[in-house]
């Protein structure tokens, strides 16, 4: 049975490609590792965005399992614009409604989806590795989920957490998507 886990990175200190995880993000990376270790199946391969925050999010799990982490440029975050955008949330919403919409120097949802879909297709056809983790960014993860869950859009993107994790399993001829990240709540007394 083919299984792909799509994971959004943990909380980071910024949006640059070399932004590290925050203190809370590092704690969540270890929580993520513990949750992944409780899966009922072994992970055979890990592919991640080249951005530091994505790599650091899976590092605790990969190190404890002895699985090498591959980076893939196609999993980097989608660039909305080369210039800073004040109303980026409105721009993002527009890009989910119109897959060809893009700002100068930016990337449309369609363009980002095309590169991410290449990775997904390669993983689904991988006959050597049955269970694969893909670590990426919220925007791209939401677009990737649309391949399996057509109505996953802007409003669903807004519900994503850092980290977040979705299990995609091929059962028979179809793929089933399940959110598997469980946010642990801290209790203060």
Burial tier of 20 (Cβ tally within 10 Å: 0-12, 13-18, 19+): middle
Taking the domain 9-77, which CATH number applies?
3.40.50.1240
Residue boundaries of the structural domains of the chain? 9-77
CB within 8 A of 112, min separation 6: which ones?
Answer: 78, 139, 140, 143
pLDDT in tens, the chain (189 residues): 899 999 999 999 988 889 999 999 999 999 999 999 999 999 999 999 999 999 999 999 999 999 999 999 999 999 888 888 888 889 889 999 999 999 999 999 999 999 999 999 999 999 999 999 999 999 999 999 998 887 888 889 999 999 999 999 988 888 889 999 977 644 333
What predicted TM-score, i.e. pTM, was given to this entire model?
Answer: 0.93
Q: What is the distance between the alpha carbons of residues 36 and 25, in angstroms, rounded to a whole number?
A: 16
Is the distance from CB of 134 to CB of 43 less than 8 angstroms? no
Q: What is the distance between the alpha carbons of residues 136 and 165, in angstroms, rounded to a whole number?
A: 10
Residue 153 token pair: 């859009």
């Amino acid at each position: 049975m083919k299984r792909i886990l799509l994971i959004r990175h943990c909380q980071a200190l910024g949006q640059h490609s070399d932004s590290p995880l925050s203190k809370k993000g590092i704690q969540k990376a270890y929580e993520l590792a513990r949750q992944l270790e409780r899966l009922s199946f072994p992970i055979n391969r890990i592919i991640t965005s080249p951005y530091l925050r994505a790599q650091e999010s899976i590092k605790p799990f990969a190190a404890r399992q002895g699985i090498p982490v591959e980076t893939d440029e196609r999993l980097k975050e989608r660039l909305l614009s080369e210039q800073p955008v004040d109303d980026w949330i409105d721009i993002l919403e527009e890009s989910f409604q119109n897959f060809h919409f893009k700002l100068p120097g930016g990337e449309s949802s369609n363009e980002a989806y095309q590169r991410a879909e290449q990775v997904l297709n390669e993983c689904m056809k991988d006959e050597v590795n049955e269970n694969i983790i893909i670590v990426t960014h919220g925007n791209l993860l939401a677009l990737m989920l649309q391949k399996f869950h057509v109505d996953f859009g802007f409003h669903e993107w807004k519900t994503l957490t850092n980290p977040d994790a979705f299990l995609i399993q091929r059962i028979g001829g179809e793929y089933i998507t399940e959110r598997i990240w469980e946010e642990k709540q801290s209790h203060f007394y």
